């Protein structure tokens, strides 16, 4: 079976390219489950209930997030009502939402989708390594196909998580940097791995934001307000082929579209 994971959907340019192409990707690539990171889908910062509904309505099955998940206040009440919208599991337990869901893919196979967040150059959450151990312990052994979005800044933290999860999940991919990496591979025990899937949004930018503003911020150290960029829109995703009988990945490849 095939899992599609779309990298960080950034603002309306990112949402539009996904809306235009998702159905054709699903049919051409025989996708059984479509997942996307949507933590930057609302103007680059956070996600709203309306945008989440829009993304589900165009055919995404599960949405993951990251450090911007709580940016928009209206998402707090929505998270407990919409279990297909995940937030990193290693935020405090008393916060709304959850970081794991088991869903039925189009081919009828149960798939666990999990979302955790790194701690280096990121908010001080609980340990993602120990938290993912707890999530995995809570899963039924029947659920063999398991996908993890590890939202983290540091390549070494992500690679370490890949080895931590090797043989225990079907795939772990990274998000957050908005820069796609070319290191996709299958680790020794059958876990597909990629350090970062990259952004789905405007690449004529500094990781999605208008480049003049981002540059001014670096040049002056002033708290310049960032706006989302509009041009050079690309969709970056990864397609993972999994043997549903044992949960082992049999293929991983990058998938990109230029708008
Ligand atoms: Fe992020």
Catalytic residue among 20, 21, 68, 178: 68
Task: Give me ligand 1 centre to Cα 213, in Å.
Answer: 19
CA 68 to chain centre: 12
Give residue 112's pLDDT.
98
CA 231 to chain centroid, in Å, comes to: 22
What is the helix, strand, coil percentage profile of the chain, to 5?
25, 30, 45
> Are 254 and 42 contacting, i.e. CB atoms less than 8 angstroms apart?
no
The per-residue pLDDT string of the chain (259 residues; one tens digit each, 9 = 90 and over) reads 999 999 999 999 999 999 999 999 999 999 999 999 999 999 999 999 999 999 999 999 999 999 999 999 999 999 999 999 999 999 999 999 999 999 999 999 999 999 999 999 999 999 999 999 999 999 999 999 999 999 999 999 999 999 999 999 999 999 999 999 999 999 999 999 999 999 999 999 999 999 999 999 999 999 999 999 999 999 999 999 999 999 999 999 999 999 7
Cβ–Cβ < 8 Å for 253, 239: yes
Q: Sign (positive/negative) of CA torsion 246, 247, 249, 254?
A: positive
Domain spanning 2-258: CATH 3.40.50.720: no
pLDDT of res. 259? 79
State the distance from the centre of ligand 1 to the C-alpha of 198, rounded, in angstroms.
11
Ligand 1 mean position, distance from CA 224 (Å):
19
Phi–psi pair at 110, nearest 5 degrees? -75, 130
CB-side neighbour CA atoms (13 Å) of 91: 20
Give the Å distance between the CA of 108 and the centre of ligand 1.
Answer: 31
246/257 Cα distance (integer angstroms): 31
Q: Would you list the domain boundaries of the chain?
A: 2-258
Return the DSSP state at 29: T
Tell how far the Cα of 141 is from the centroid of ligand 1, in angstroms: 31
pLDDT per position as a tens digit, 92-118:
999 999 999 999 999 999 999 999 999
- Per-chain residues with Cβ under 5 A from ion ligand 1: 66-67, 176
Helices (runs of H) and strands (runs of E) counted in the chain: 6, 12
Dig out the tokens for 203 from the structure: 């690449």
> Is 68 considered catalytic here?
yes
């Amino acid at each position: 079976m095939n899992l599609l994971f779309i990298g960080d959907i950034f603002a309306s340019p990112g949402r539009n390219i996904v809306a235009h192409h998702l159905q054709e990707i699903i049919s051409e690539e025989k996708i059984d489950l479509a997942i996307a990171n949507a933590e930057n889908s609302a103007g680059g910062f956070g996600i709203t209930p309306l945008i989440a509904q829009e993304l589900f309505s165009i055919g995404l099955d599960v949405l993951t997030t990251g450090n911007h998940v709580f940016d928009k206040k209206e998402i707090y009440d929505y998270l407990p009502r919409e279990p297909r919208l995940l937030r990193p599991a290693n935020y405090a337990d008393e916060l709304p939402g959850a970081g794991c869901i088991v869903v039925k893919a189009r081919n009828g196979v149960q798939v666990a989708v999990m979302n955790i967040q790194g701690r280096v150059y990121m908010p001080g959450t609980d340990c993602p390594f120990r938290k993912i151990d707890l999530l995995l312990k809570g899963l039924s052994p029947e659920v063999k196909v398991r996908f993890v979005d590890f939202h983290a800044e540091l390549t070494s933290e992500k690679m370490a998580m890949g080895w931590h999860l090797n043989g225990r999940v079907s795939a772990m991919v990274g998000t957050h940097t908005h820069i796609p990496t070319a290191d996709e591979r299958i680790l020794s025990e059958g876990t597909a791995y990629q350090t970062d899937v990259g952004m789905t949004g405007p690449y004529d930018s500094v990781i999605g934001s208008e480049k003049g503003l981002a540059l001014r911020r670096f040049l002056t150290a002033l708290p310049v307000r960032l706006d989302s960029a509009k041009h050079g829109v690309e969709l970056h995703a990864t397609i993972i082929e999994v043997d549903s009988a044992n949960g082992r990945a049999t293929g991983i490849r990058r998938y990109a579209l230029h708008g």
